[in-house]
Amino acid sequence: MRGNLPKADWFLNKALPSRTDIVIRKLIKSGNDGHVFKGHSDLLVRDWACKVIPRTNLVIGDAGREVWRSEVLKANSLTNTAVVKFEQQIENWKDEEAGVDCVVLVSEFVEGCDLKDFIAKNKGRVTVSFITSFLSTMLNLFIEMKVRGVTHGDLHAGNILVQDRPAYDRLSPRHVFRVTDFGVAEATSDRRFKDDFDQLADLLRQLLEQVAYTAGSLKEKFVFNVLNDRFLARYLTERDTTREPVARQPEALFQQLQELEAEFDKYAGEGIRLLTPFDFLNCEQIGDDETLLKSLYSDRFLGLDDIRSRNNVVVTGPRGCGKSTVFKSLSLHHKTQVHEDAPAEINFFGVYYRCLDLYFAFPRYVIPDRPEALDIPVHFVTATLLAGFCEVFERWALRHFQEEYRAFEAKAAIKLWGILGIEPPKEPGIETLRSVAAELQKQRRKAADRQQRAKDVKRGIGRCWGVDILQRACETLVKSFAFSNSRPVYFFIDDYSAPKVTKALQSSLNRIFMQRNPHCFFKLSTESPVSFSSGDIDGKEYVETREFILLNLGLVYLHDESEKKLAFIEDVFRRRLSAVEKYPAKDITELVGSNASQNWNEDAREIRRVSRITVWGKESLSNLCSGDVHYVINLVASMVNATGGEAQLRQSESLPKVSPSVQDKCIREEAGEFLRNLKGSCEHGDKLIAIASAFGIVANSYLRWRNSANDTGEPPWQACRIEPHEALSLTGPAQILYDELLRYSVFIEDYRGKSRRGKTVPRLCLRRFLVPYFNLTFSNRDSIPLEPRDFELLLTAPDQFEAKFRRKGPDEPREGELPLG
C-alpha cells in the first residue's frame, strides 16, 4: 500500500479543496496508507492535522460499499477527551497529471509526537508511572467504546499521540495521551492484530521493554510485575473467561489498575507473601518471586516423572492444572534463585520460555510465499532459547565451577560464534558467553523485524538459521566443560497453544521441537490436544511415543486410583495454609473434613430417592479435580467466604470448620459459574453449554431409571462419559464444536477406551467438577453408549438428543442402544 502514495512534496503549500483557508505547511509522517500533514488556517489562526489517503488504499466493502465513510466517523460518536475527532472529510483531491486521487481527513492538531517516536527517543528510560497513566487512559476509553459498541481497529504506536502539556499548566499531568485514526484501519491498513485488546497488549509490551527494571524502586518493580504478569500475560490477551473472569473487561481492569497502590501498601515492608491461603492462584501472579513459587510448589504433582524424563513431552490438560508452575520450578533459573542448584541435585539444565513474545512477534502467522522467509521463526526461537541457556548456564557455572569455567569459556564461545556463522565484533570480551548472549538478543530483534517485512518482495530477508543450530550449539556448550558433559538441556516451552501460536507457526517450529537428540529435549505445554499441531511444514507427521510423549494431565488425574491425587491436594493446601501466619486451620481436613466412607452405588440410590446428595469432604475435592488444582483452591476460598471468612473460622469450634451444606452449595454454584463464563469465552459458548446440559440431563435420567449389569446387585447406571460405538467421522460444524469442547475442557478426551464392538475409540469424560451439578456420581464404571450419528446429534442439536435419549421410566433400550448384558 505504501507504493500507492503520491510524493509528499506535491502537497506542500497547497490549499485543501473546499477548505481554501487551510494550507498544507509541513509533512509530519508517512505511513503505509497515507501522509499526515500539518495544515494552518490564517483565518481561524489554528493548526489542523490533515491525513491524505490515496483512494486506492481505501478498502471497498460488499457491493461496492465505501466502508470508510462510516468508519471515519466512529471517533465523533465518543465523548472521551482522549479521542482526536474528525472535523471534516474531503472526498476528492485530484490531479491527473500528478497522479493524485486522494481523500483528506481533517482533525484537531495535537502538539507532541506519536508513541512510536516517544519510545525511540526514550529507550530504556520509560517510567512505570508513564505506562500506568497510558494504560489508565486507554482502559477508560475502552469502557465507553464497550458501551457504545465501537472498536478502534488499528491501535498501534503511530496512532497514539503523546501530548506534552505546557509547563504553566498546573492541573494537567505531564503527558496526555490522544488516540487518532479512529476506525480508519477498518477501511485501510493491513493490521498485525485484528483486536483492540491484542493491540493494546502489544503497546504495553513495547513500553515495558523500555523500563530500566533493576534501577526501579520496590514499588516500581511491584507495579511493573503486575503490569507484565497480569495485565499483559493474562488480562489483555486471555479470551477464556472460565479461567480469567476479568479478561477483556475494561471496567474491572481499570478498577484493578487504580487499586495497585493500595495493593502495594499491603505488601510493603514484608515483600510479596500470601495474605490468605487462596492468593496467587495463577503462576503468572507470582511473577519473579522465586521463594514464593518454591513455597507453593508441590513435588507430589502427578505426571512429574514423565515431565522429567529424557523424552520430548507435550503436556496438556485443563487450564490451571499447574503446567506453568511445574515448568518454572524445574528451570535452572528457579533452582539457582532458591539455592537448590547444587551440582549433585542438577540432572539437567532447564530453560523456561513462555510463548507470549512469540505471539507478539508472529501474530496470525501463516506460511509465507517467499521461501527465504520460511525460517524466520526458527531464527527467532533459536536466538531466544540459546540466549536463555547461555545466561543461566554462565550463572550456574560461575557459582559452582568458577575456575574450570573461566579456563574453558573462551574456547566454548569461539565454537558458538562458528556454529552461528557470525563474525564476532571487533571489541574486547567477545570470547565470553555473555557476548554471545548479547548478540543473540540482537538476532531476536532482527528476526522480529524481518517478519514484519516478510511480504514485501522488494526488501531482503537475510540469512536465517536452520533447525539444527540450537541442538548443535547446546551440544557444543555442554561438551566444552567436564562438569556439564553428562547433563542434557531441557527447554520448557510454556503456552504453546493455538490460536495464539497458530498451527502454521507450530508447523514451522516443530522442526526444532520434535527433533530427537540425547543433548536436547523439549517439553511443550498446550491447553488442550486440539491446540497442538503434530506435523510440520515439510509434511512430516510426528508420531506419539516415537518423537514425543503426550501427557494429558486431565486423564492422569481422572484415572488415578492410588490416592496420589488426594495426597497432592492435601500437600497443596498444607503449604498454603502454613504460609499464612496463624491461619485458623492447619490442613484441609480441618477445613472441610473427611468423608472417606462414600460409596458411589449408595450415592446413586440416594439420588434416586431424593434427587440430589450432599457433596463434601476432602475426598470430594479430590474427585472434583480434573487436574485443574486452581479450581479446587478457588472453590475452597468460596467455601470459606460463604462461612463468614477467616474471622468466623477462628470463632468456630466445630469440625469441619466449613459445614457440609455450605460445601455442597459452593460446589454447585462454582460449576454453574463455569458454565456462565463459558458463554462469553468463545463464539460457540451457548452451544457448548447446551451440549453439556443435554448430556448431564440424559446421564441423570440413566442413573434414575436404568440399572447397571456390570456389577452385582444391579446398582443404578452411573455414567460420566460418552463411549461411541465406532470411530467418529464428524461433519465440519460438529467438528468445530467437538474441538471447542476439548479446548475448554468441558469434556476430556480419553483414547484408551474400546467400544463394545472391539474398536479403539475416544471416550469423552465430563469434567469432574460438573458431575455434582448434574446430580451424577464420580463412578467411572458406566458410559452413555452412542452411535456416531447420535453423537453428531448431541453436538449439532442437543435439544433433539435430549428428547431422544432422556429416560422417563424403566423402559426398554432406545434406538441406537445396545441391549444390557
> What distance in Å separates the CA atoms of residue 598 and residue 265, rounded to the nearest whole number?
46
Torsion of CA 598, 599, 604, 606, to 10 degrees: -60
**Strand 520-526 vs strand 313-316: parallel, antiparallel, or unpaired?**
parallel
- Asked if omega into 250 is within 30° of 0 (cis), the reply is no
The predicted structure's pLDDT at residue 241: 78
Query: Collapsing DSSP states into helix, strand and coil, what is residue 39?
Result: strand
> What distance in Å separates the CA atoms of residue 290 and residue 549, rounded to the nearest whole number?
29
Look at residues 560, 555, 569, 673 and name the one whose alpha carbon lies nearest to residue 621: 569
The predicted structure's pLDDT at residue 242: 74
DSSP code, position 563:
S
Q: Other C-beta atoms within 10 Å of 39: how many?
A: 23
Question: Over the Cα atoms of the chain, what is R_g?
Answer: 30
Q: According to CATH, where is 1.10.510.10 located in the chain? A: 114-267
> What distance in Å separates the CA atoms of residue 454 and residue 450, rounded to the nearest whole number?
6
Please identify every stretch of the chain with a pLDDT value under 50, giving residue numbers as ranges: 187-189, 816, 818-821
Cell of 629: 488444582
The predicted structure's pLDDT at residue 819: 47
**Strand 549-552 vs strand 313-316: parallel, antiparallel, or unpaired?**
parallel
CB 643 within 8 A of CB 661: no
CB 577 within 8 A of CB 587: yes
Q: According to CATH, where is 3.30.200.20 located in the chain? A: 2-109
**Strand 489-494 vs strand 349-354: parallel, antiparallel, or unpaired?**
parallel
CATH architecture label of 114-267 = Orthogonal Bundle (1.10)
Compute φ and ψ for 334, nearest 5 degrees.
-65, -45
Q: Is domain 2-109 in CATH 2.40.170.20, yes or no?
A: no
DSSP 64-116: G-BHHHHHTTTGGG---TTB--EEEEEEEEEETTTTEEEEEEEEE--SSEEHH
The predicted structure's pLDDT at residue 187: 47
Does the global pTM surpass 0.85?
A: no
Compute φ and ψ for 164, nearest 5 degrees.
-80, 125
* End-to-end C-alpha distance for the chain, whole angstroms: 70
Distances (CA, A) of 650 to 16, 190, 546, 583: 76, 60, 55, 8
Q: What is the pLDDT of residues 720-752, one digit of tens each?
A: 999 998 888 899 999 999 999 998 999 999 876
Residues 6+ apart with CB under 8 A from 58: 66, 67, 68, 103, 187, 188
Q: What is the pLDDT of residues 431-441, one digit of tens each?
A: 999 999 999 99
Distances (CA, A) of 23 to 19, 114, 311, 581: 9, 22, 68, 70
Q: What is the pLDDT of residues 516-530, one digit of tens each?
A: 889 999 999 998 888
Look at residues 211, 296, 371, 746 and name the one whose alpha carbon lies nearest to residue 528: 746
